[in-house]
Structure 1
Amino acid sequence: MNGKILCSIVLVLVLAGALAYAMSYAREDVIVDTFESGGRVVFHDNDSHGTFHLGVASADFDKNAVSSSSLSSIETGTGTSTFTATWRNEMENELGGVKTAVFTLTVWDPVGVPHSTTRESQGVSSGTLSVSCSPHGSGEGRFLLTSTISESRLNVSTPLFT
């Protein structure tokens, strides 16, 4: 009798493990909301540099809404400049929630090389995005501040055993 019970327990554990493994592949990340704001960066032919605050991005899990606002234009030289933006996530995930807020700041130099940083948040928090850039020549670049909410959802149309 003990052998049958042990075998049944092992079989149930193996089936539960296989189901959990299959379910982990049946989840997909879905973008709930995304918003971008940006502008241009003019790099003048001089060594001036500085730290420039470009904007603010936020996310609200309760409303499934994101926003960002930024300057339209900034001017600096070809010395190493630092570009910053602040971000905040205003709401906690619901109990068992699977939402993630993603904030990205990207600055392109005059030749189109991107300099980027990203932060993720799953609860109430805030911080600063910071990107340094020292272009090798003058010209016009650009920047983009993006905020996104994604949610991990169960995709029941995904075959469990593929």
Structure 2
Amino acid sequence: MHLFFETVIRLSEKVMCSIILTLGLAILLGYGLVSYAAEDIVVNATTSGGKILFQDNDSHGVYLLGRAWADFGSNATFSNVTPSIETGTGRSVFLVTCDNARGNELSRTRTAVFTLTVWNPAGVPHSTTREFRGICSETLSVDCTPFEPGEGRFEVTTTIRERQLNLPAVFGR
């Protein structure tokens, strides 16, 4: 009788090990499938900008270009920027304040993306981007030291992206 119970216990251990391995493989396969089928969808995006006049002098400074914000609750993006800035060809720092007052709801995978790009008079871009999945209040900054005077420009882009499953991509439709 003792041998019978020992055999049953050994079989139970093997069955349990097989179940755990099968379950682990199914979870790993499911994770890979979901990762393959997930894609970022742009929910909303706003771009606004202005011009920067680089004067023929050595002046420099720190300039607040405006404010950008995202609202996950209403899927809205906004920006309010200064239309025009004047500075010299010395090193200038350009700033944009970025806010997101609402976090993600449960089971949501939204990201607020803020980008500040400054082009010098030669058309060379200087850029920075920050991404946030929750409540944030940050300042983006870009340094720019042009070699010559002239007109440059800047853009502030605010985007809300959401990660969603694309099941037709998995099944080849």
What interval of TM-score do these two structures reach, taking the shorter chain for normalisation? over 0.9
Find out whether 1:16 has 2:64 as its counterpart.
no
Question: Unaligned regions of 5+ residues in structure 2, if any?
Answer: 1-10
2:162 maps to which of 151, 157, 160: 151
TM-score (normalised: structure 1) = 0.95
> What displacement does 1:6 show?
2.0
Q: What's the C-alpha RMSD, in Å, of the aligned pairs?
A: 1.3
State the Cα deviation string for residues 28-76 of structure 1 (Å, max 9, x = none): 0000000011001111111011111101000000000000111111111
> What displacement does 1:158 show?
1.4
Maintained 8 Å contact 1:46/1:78: yes
Give the ranges of 4+ consecutive aligned residues of structure 1 lying more than 6 Å apart after TM superposition: none
TM-score (normalised: structure 2) = 0.89
Equivalent position SS for 1:157: helix
2:91 maps to which of 49, 65, 80: 80
CA distance in 2, matches of 1:122, 1:7: 39
Maintained 8 Å contact 1:117/1:130: yes
**Aligned length, in residue pairs:** 161
Kindly, what percent of the aligned residue pairs are identical? Answer: 48
Find out whether 1:111 has 2:119 as its counterpart.
no
Question: Unaligned regions of 5+ residues in structure 1, if any?
Answer: none
Higher Rg of the two aligned structures: 2
Maintained 8 Å contact 1:26/1:160: no
The 1:160–1:10 alpha-carbon spacing in structure 2 relative to 1, beyond 3 Å, is farther
Equivalent position SS for 1:42: strand
**Corresponding residue number in structure 2 for 1:133:** 144
